[in-house]
Amino acid sequence: MNRRRKLPPLTALTAFEAAARLASFTRAANELGVTQAAVSRQIHLLEEQFGFPLFVRLHRKIELTGKGKTLSAAAGDAFDLIAGSVAEISREGPSDELTIAATVAFSHFWLLPRISEFSRQHPEINLRIVTQDNMPNIESGELDIAIRFGSGMWADGQAELLFDDEIFPICSPDYERTNARIVTPDDLTAHPLITNDVDDPTWIGWTEWLAAFSVKAPKKTLGFRCSFYTEAIYAALNGQGIALGWRRLVEDLLAQNRLVRVTDAAVKTRNAYFVILPKRRRHPEAAGLFLSWLKNESHLPSVATRISKTD
């Protein structure tokens, strides 16, 4: 049978995909630049063609039916695949450009201090670093590689383990010299503890870290509260108190003696850092070279240690 006869009208499917993703006919209409009535009409045509409802219309909201959820998942995957292919074939600039995404903290403290070595080895590859904590779907075509922290289970890409991590208290050498010695995790509660805002449930803060040693975090702690982890680290560098150091992020600062560990106590993370590649798109040769470099770099000593050994 002709494939087109098996498919619903593309206009109706586009309206359905937007309404399902946004959970709103009105928001779908705004995104598509049409009226709410037009979106509703297209979805009604689909439901008539299929012979069953795709949405449950509730008071001031809509919900997908079971069959609607199935169609929504398929339509979303198909549109992502098309968008990724279009972005790949129409991408401006040389074909050897590589776009890499990572969180602000990972880019700032780990990736950027090292990436010049990759550029030295592969000067023909133009690198573009996308730094943001809320990463786009890697199948969208905007990214070639993403570096994420988590369980490794992401629906939009295939994950390869880079390395795990551990977390321990850190402060500046001056703060350590001028304050009472910390022997146990319980001693930390008397010091200003630097915190940062985070929405990621995999992130470990002071409450979780202290609880691992059966220590209850004080309800009110002295110290800075920062918006980002990078700010928390700079507050620690400036002697404002004690922050939690993720070893992979602060190892260069420790090697340079700009930060010091407060105790030997550490918490191993359950999650890890992964390299994510698209599942449905061809990986450019540059992505393979970058992945090999990442894996090799992840097993080397910190940048600061390597520099000191060559001086």
Rounded CA separation 246/268 (Å): 10
pLDDT at 300 over 90: no
3-state secondary structure of 203: coil
CB contact at 8 A, 13 and 75: yes
CB atoms < 10 A from the CB of 163, how many?
15
- Contacts from 227-232 at CB under 8 Å and sequence distance 24+? 227/196, 227/197, 228/104, 228/105, 228/196, 228/197, 229/104, 229/105, 229/196, 229/198, 230/104, 230/105, 230/108, 230/109, 231/196, 232/194, 232/195, 232/196
- Nearest C-alpha neighbor of 235 from the set 104, 245, 219, 132: 245
**What are the domain boundaries of the chain?**
3-90, 98-162+271-310, 166-268
Q: Tens digits of per-residue pLDDT, 169-215?
A: 999 999 999 998 898 999 999 999 999 988 777 789 999 999 999 99
- At 81 the pLDDT is 74
pLDDT at 94 over 50: no
pLDDT at 1 over 50: no
Q: Would you give the distance in Å from CA 73 to the centre of its chain?
A: 22
- At 264 the pLDDT is 92
On whether the 3-90 domain is CATH 2.40.33.20, my answer is: no
Q: Identify which has the larger pLDDT, 6 or 1.
A: 6
Q: What is the 3-state secondary structure (H, E, C) of 69-96?
A: HHHHHHHHHHHHHHHHHHHHHHCCCCCC
* Token duo for residue 251: 């190892």
What's the whole-number mean pLDDT along residues 154-182? 92
Same CATH fold, 166-268 and 98-162+271-310?
yes
Q: Tens digits of per-residue pLDDT, 30-83?
A: 989 999 999 999 999 999 999 999 999 988 889 999 999 999 988 888 887 777
The CATH number, out of the four listed (3.20.20.140, 3.30.450.20, 3.40.190.10, 1.10.10.10), of the domain defined by the range 98-162+271-310: 3.40.190.10
Mean model confidence pLDDT for the chain: 87
Q: For 166-268, which CATH class?
A: alpha beta
Q: Tens digits of per-residue pLDDT, 217-234?
A: 887 766 788 989 999 999
CB contact at 8 A, 298 and 162: yes
- At 180 the pLDDT is 85
Q: Identify which has the larger pLDDT, 223 or 132.
A: 132
pLDDT at 126 over 80: yes
